[in-house]
Amino acid sequence: MTSWRDRVERDMVHAFGPSQGLLVRGEGAYVEDVEGKRYLDFLAGIAVNVLGHAHPVLADAIAQQAKTLIHVSNFFSTPPQLELAARLKRLTGAGETGRVFFANSGTEANEGAFKLARLNRGEDGRRTRVLSMKNSFHGRTMGALALTGKPAMHTDFEPLPGGVEYIDTTIEALEEAFDETVAAVILEPIKGEAGVLEVPDAFLQRARALTSKTGALLMIDEIQTGVGRTGGWFGYQRSGIVPDVVTVAKGIAGGVPMGAVVTLGAASELIHPGQHGTTFGGNPLATATANAVLGEIETAGLVENAARRGDELVSMIAGWKHPLVTGVRGRGLLLGISLGAPVAKKLHGEALERGLIVNAPNDETIRLAPPLIIGEAELSDFEARFTAALSAVSH
Ligand SMILES: *Cc1c(COP(=O)(O)O)cnc(C)c1O
């Protein structure tokens, strides 16, 4: 009989590295593989499974909506879609001037944002440049890839859509590059893929001040940081700014594919009929699921839980005083453990062996993005498994 690993090798496109396991079910913060081995999931499908696995509220919402109405064309509207649009306007602080475009993934949400930048040329048409941050990540499709500040990811796919410039995430670099020819500035409040690097509040505030003055769009990619993960509903909110465009995906529907672009103020008036669209975007199955997920985050106090458990994790990790651990970055339940040596890949492997799923965005960082539902029991289980993995790497 052909093993599942051989079938992966034979039948799947080789876009990802070797598969780490054949997972068959999950419950809460745990998943189980085909051999019955249980893993504590401290990655949550990369910041996706905000309610953990097989959450009854999520499962029931999907089942109920599947029995009611799964999909209609965007020639029509549906109640779950309108409910979700109103909810996103409230949670982002968009208020009366907000509007929502629904997509199906993070990269597609950022494609929408990119189009808004192109539509924001200004009356004389001179706003043509888009500023993005070096080392940023915005997705894999051509437009979102062009927005991504990692030149090594571009080379195989050039030519990419033009007009994007990559700057250091410093106020000096921003002021140097910024003028009235800029159509938009896009950034992540915490660069997750780059190793959980926080962007200072002062930088966001300066970006807001500059863009407000000229009419450039401030576009915040909240795909990884949004829906409660950082201990606030959205990462930008801590800095007190209100952006023009917010892109959301990953956790928004708890694992059902979904993305959204929220526009605020004048940005809400840029798109006209015929300029953008998508078949599945905002269908009742995805939007009803997102309503259930966001509703559960609110009623169960999971934003507050993310803040509290994040603080507890940071103190716990500091308390180990392990020589290999040189610091913890990030906020809430999006954390990067920095290592004093390039052993993140090895540590990730040792953790997996001990039934703990984390990930290594680079050689010196372990990223944690557990479900927002975790409590004391999951924290102690994480401590036991991770410190065991640390010892294995140190010896
Ligand atoms: C994951 C991610 C994306 C891309 O989302 P996909 O759903 O994988 O297309 C874009 N931006 C950020 C910050 C992300 O973390």
The pLDDT of residue 144? 98
59-299 is classed CATH 3.40.640.10: yes
> pLDDT digits over 94-113, tens only?
989 999 999 999 999 999 99
What residues does 41 pair with on adjacent strands?
Answer: 357
Determine whether the shortest distance from the Cβ of 81 to ligand 1 is under 6 A. no
Structure tokens at 140: 């894999």
Q: How far is CA 170 from CA 165, 173, 216, 222, 359, in A?
A: 14, 5, 18, 20, 27
- Probe target for ligand 1 pocket from 250, 258, 367, with the most ligand atoms within 8 Å of CB: 250
Which residues 6+ apart lie within 8 Å of 235 measured at CB? 188, 189, 190, 220, 222, 225, 226, 229, 331
The pLDDT of residue 395? 75
CA of residue 241 relative to chain centroid, distance: 19
Q: Please tell me the distance from the alpha carbon of residue 69 to that of residue 310, in angstroms, as a whole number.
A: 38
In single-letter form, the type of residue at position 245 comes to: V
Ligand 1, atom 10: nearest CA belongs to which residue? 138
Place of tokens 């003028």: 179
The pLDDT of residue 246? 98
CATH 3.90.1150.10 segments of the chain: 4-55+301-394
Low-confidence ranges of the chain (pLDDT < 50): none
The pLDDT of residue 241? 97
* Helix, strand, coil percentages, rounded to 5, for the chain: 40, 20, 40
Eight-class DSSP state of 53: B
On whether the CB atoms of residues 194 and 149 are closer than 8 A, the answer is no
Separation of CA 53 and ligand 1 centre (Å): 20
- Probe target for ligand 1 pocket from 105, 107, 188, with the most ligand atoms within 8 Å of CB: 107
> pLDDT digits over 353-377, tens only?
999 999 999 999 999 999 999 999 9
Q: Please tell me the distance from the alpha carbon of residue 256 to that of residue 64, in angstroms, as a whole number.
A: 14
* Fold of the CATH domain 4-55+301-394: Aspartate Aminotransferase, domain 1 (3.90.1150)
CATH 3.40.640.10 segments of the chain: 59-299
Separation of CA 322 and ligand 1 centre (Å): 32
* pTM of the complete model: 0.98
The pLDDT of residue 1? 79
Q: Please tell me the distance from the alpha carbon of residue 6 to that of residue 78, in angstroms, as a whole number.
A: 44
